[in-house]
Amino acid sequence: MKILILGGTTEARELAERLTALGHDVTTSLAGRTRRPALPAGQLRVGKFGGVPGLVGYLKAAGVERLVDATHPYAGLISVNAVAAAQASGVPLIRYMRPAWDEPADAAWLHVPTIEAAAAALPPNAHGFITTGHQGLEYFVGRDDCRLVARLIEVPQIDLGHMELLIDTPPHSLASERSLFDRYDFTHLVSKNSGGAATWAKLDVARERGATVIMVARPAYGPAHEVGTVDEAVAAVATH
DSSP 195-220: -SSTTTHHHHHHHHHTPEEEEEPPPP
pLDDT at 53: 97
pLDDT along the chain (240 residues), means of 10: 95 96 97 73 93 97 98 92 97 95 92 98 98 95 97 93 94 96 98 93 96 96 94 94
pLDDT at 142: 93
Q: What is the CA radius of gyration of the chain?
A: 19
pLDDT at 131: 98
Fold of the 110-216 domain: Rossmann fold (3.40.50)
pLDDT at 35: 62
Per-domain residue ranges of the chain:
2-99+219-239, 110-216
Q: For domain 2-99+219-239, say whether CATH 3.40.50.720 is its number.
A: yes
pLDDT at 95: 97
Spatial separation of the C-alpha atoms in residues 149 and 126, rounded to whole Å: 11
DSSP the chain: -EEEEE--SHHHHHHHHHHHHTT-EEEEEE-S-SSSPPPPSSEEEES---HHHHHHHHHHHHT-SEEEE-S-TT-THHHHHHHHHHHHH---EEEE-PPPPPPPTT---EEESSHHHHHHHSPTT-EEEE-S-STTHHHHHT-TTSEEEEEESS--SS--TT-EEEE--S---HHHHHHHHHHH--SEEEEE---SSTTTHHHHHHHHHTPEEEEEPPPP----EEESSHHHHHHHHHH-
Spatial separation of the C-alpha atoms in residues 79 and 11, rounded to whole Å: 16
pLDDT at 240: 81
* Matching fold, domains 2-99+219-239 and 110-216: yes
Residues 59-104: pLDDT tens digits? 999 999 999 999 999 988 999 999 999 999 999 999 999 999 999 9
Sheet-wide strand order for 147-152: 110-112, 212-216, 188-192, 127-130, 147-152, 164-167
